[in-house]
Amino acid sequence: MEFTRRDLFKKSAAITIGAAVSHWPPAAGDPLPSWNDGPAKTAILNFVQATTDRTNPKFVPEPERIATFDQDGTLWVEHPIYAQVVYCFSRVPAVVKARPELADVEPYKTVLSGRDEAIGKLSTPDLYKILAATLSGMSVEQFESNVKNWLANARDSRWKKRYTELIYQPMIEVLTYMRSSGYKTYIVTGGGQDFVRVYSEETYGIPPEQVVGTASGTTFGYDKDGQPFLTKDPKLLLNDDKAGKPEGIHLMIGRRPYAAFGNSIGDQQMLEYTKAGDGERLAMLVIHDDADREYAYGPAQGLPDTKVGTFTQALYDQAKSKGWTIASVKNDWKRVVS
């Protein structure tokens, strides 16, 4: 976790953000070279082949081919803490600089202390206070610039890589394969819609308009020269988690997905909603069970629930009984973090 104030407006930083989409093209012949042969890989291949073959009764016309992907824990690493939360902590000094009276007020005081143990114990309401304070009050362009600069400079604590490099190569291959098969790929994340949109195109090949996330409103206004601009405000419009995911999909896309990918209880309703549609549907649950190459978390691994990416035995049982596809990081993925 880093709290150093940086040169947040260094324009050139933006272009250094990873080019993950292009540097691992799938090998010819096998669109999923980072997947081990097994039921998960077979399920993806069979689903795409069936739904794109005009002679197959499971054929889906191209405009209806929508696939939705959770981000944290499904497309990139979510442990030990969501990247966006690290970003928000990193912005606290700037918030306090603009409003010095907050320096001695909780939860800002604890974040400024830099004491990881105390920060780890912040309550959820305190965390929301920090999110609201650091994700609102600026123009949408200023926010984008702040995030780009942070992404270019921040490194995770374990791999010492940029967060946009901590993406799962097997899932990048699924995104690329589905797009090349006429699927429109969407991120549907509990994370901030504006945050993820900053890097989604360069990192995943997913344009901002195909990112659905937790979203607050903006307020239209004019600057002193009469130029219109949008200010990010703290009012929550869409809590894109759990039941909010299918609700967000309806709001932002307006079609039920044919395929959905998730890894936690936050994705349960999206997977249920997807699987309940007519015809062939794919619902995939990624299981994090590889402590050596990444992390193992959730009761299926004999570990207690954690604050992020909550995975329960009930979700695992539901996946088994409802015919969802289970992808084990340990058994199904040849590579994990690129």
Does position 272 interact with a second copy (CB under 8 A)? The reply is: yes
Window 232-271: residues binding a second copy (CB under 8 A): 237-238, 243-244, 246-247, 250-255, 269
Window 123-152: residues binding a second copy (CB under 8 A): 140
- Minimum CB separation of residue 128 from a second copy in Å reads 20
- Minimum CB separation of residue 209 from a second copy in Å reads 5
Report helix angle 268-275 to 313-322, nearest 10.
10
Q: Are strands 228-238 and 282-287 parallel, antiparallel or unpaired?
A: unpaired
* Region from 25-33, 103-111, 194-202, 257-265 binding a second copy, contact rule CB under 8 A: 194-202
Number of chain residues interacting with a second copy (CB under 8 A): 37
Cα separation, 169 vs 26, whole angstroms: 10
* Cβ proximity to a second copy, 278 vs 292, nearer residue: 278
For the chain, helix, strand, coil in percent to 5 are 45, 20, 40
Window 47-106: residues binding a second copy (CB under 8 A): 63, 66
Q: Tell me which of 134, 193, 264, 325 binds a second copy, using CB under 8 A.
A: 193
The vertex-121 CA angle with 307 and 165, nearest 5°, equals 50
Q: Tell me which of 29, 125, 228, 302 binds a second copy, using CB under 8 A.
A: 228
- Minimum CB separation of residue 63 from a second copy in Å reads 6
The kind and range of the H/E element at 318 are helix 313-322
Burial (CB count within 10 angstroms: exposed 0-12, middle 13-18, buried 19+), residue 120: exposed
- Minimum CB separation of residue 140 from a second copy in Å reads 6
Q: Are strands 325-328 and 282-287 parallel, antiparallel or unpaired?
A: parallel
Q: Tell me which of 209, 293, 307, 313 binds a second copy, using CB under 8 A.
A: 209
Encoded amino acid at 67, one letter: A
309 CB-side CA count, 13 A = 27
Q: Which pair of structure tokens corresponds to residue 76? A: 């990139």
Residues contributing to the site for a second copy (CB under 8 A): 63, 66, 140, 184, 193-194, 197, 201, 207-209, 211, 215, 217-220, 227-230, 237-238, 243-244, 246-247, 250-255, 269, 272-273, 276
